[in-house]
Amino acid sequence: MLFTAGAAMFLSWPNPAAFTAEAKKGFLPVIDRKDGYSFLYPFGWQVINRQDKVYKDVIEPLESVSVNTIATNKQDIRELGPPDQVAEALIRKVLAAPSQKTKLIEAKENDVDGRTYYTFEFTAEAPNFTRHALGAIAIVNGKFYTLTTGANERRWEKMKDRLHTVIDSFKIEARV
């Protein structure tokens, strides 16, 4: 099941040293205390300052991870609908260009420590490439969190385990 790896370490908000010690080999941690989330990304990716957080491979630009947060008056991701409908709308309206042909491969609900996340897998086909991607979304603390990661379809088999590690590591802090 997604989101089980490392869930125990997030029962209390991790300190950077502890999170680094728990980090999987070949990955680096991101801990954003201001927006209240953390995740791992592959070693060698570099930060790009366009969205809240973006890390990407300098050689393979379609290999990236990004996090965005927006304010919401919703309390739970389930208020938006079932996982497949929410993922389809997000992919079509936000995550892919209007000219791209998209395909939702899978969408599901995951509960970790009483918090609901929707995770999904999709492809977005452009004239020159197809991006194979994973996403995780949740609503917590009055914010809608979106983490997406992916790679060029031609490199999917090589990258998919690493990208699943990124998705599985995404955690949002419970503010008291």
The answer to whether 62 and 134 are in contact (CB under 8 A) is: no
Residue 140 maps to a domain: yes
DSSP state of 10: G
Q: What is the pLDDT of residue 165?
A: 96
Residue 1 maps to a domain: no
Residue 90 maps to a domain: yes
Residue 133 maps to a domain: yes
Q: What is the pLDDT of residue 114?
A: 83
Q: What is the largest CA-CA distance in the chain?
A: 47
Q: What is the CATH number of the domain that holds 36?
A: 3.40.1000.10
The answer to whether 160 and 131 are in contact (CB under 8 A) is: no
Q: 43-56 in b/e burial notation, b at 16+ Cβ within 10 A?
A: eebeeeeeebbbbb
DSSP state of 94: I
Q: What is the pLDDT of residue 50?
A: 55
Of the candidates 83, 92, 85, the one whose C-alpha atom is nearest the C-alpha of residue 123 is 92
Number of domains composing the chain: 1
Residue 2 maps to a domain: no
Tell me how far apart the alpha carbons of residues 83 and 114 are, in angstroms, rounded to a whole number: 17
The answer to whether 7 and 172 are in contact (CB under 8 A) is: no
Non-local CB neighbours of 22 within 8 Å, separated by 6+ positions: 6, 9, 14
pLDDT, one tens digit per residue, over 101-159 is 999 999 999 998 889 999 999 999 999 999 999 999 999 989 999 999 999 999 999 99
Tell me which residue range forms the domain holding 40: 7-172
Residue 134 maps to a domain: yes
- Write the CA distances from 151 to 30, 105, 107, 132, integer angstroms: 20, 15, 18, 6
- Quick one: tokens of 82? 């079932």
Residue 48 maps to a domain: yes
Residue 119 maps to a domain: yes
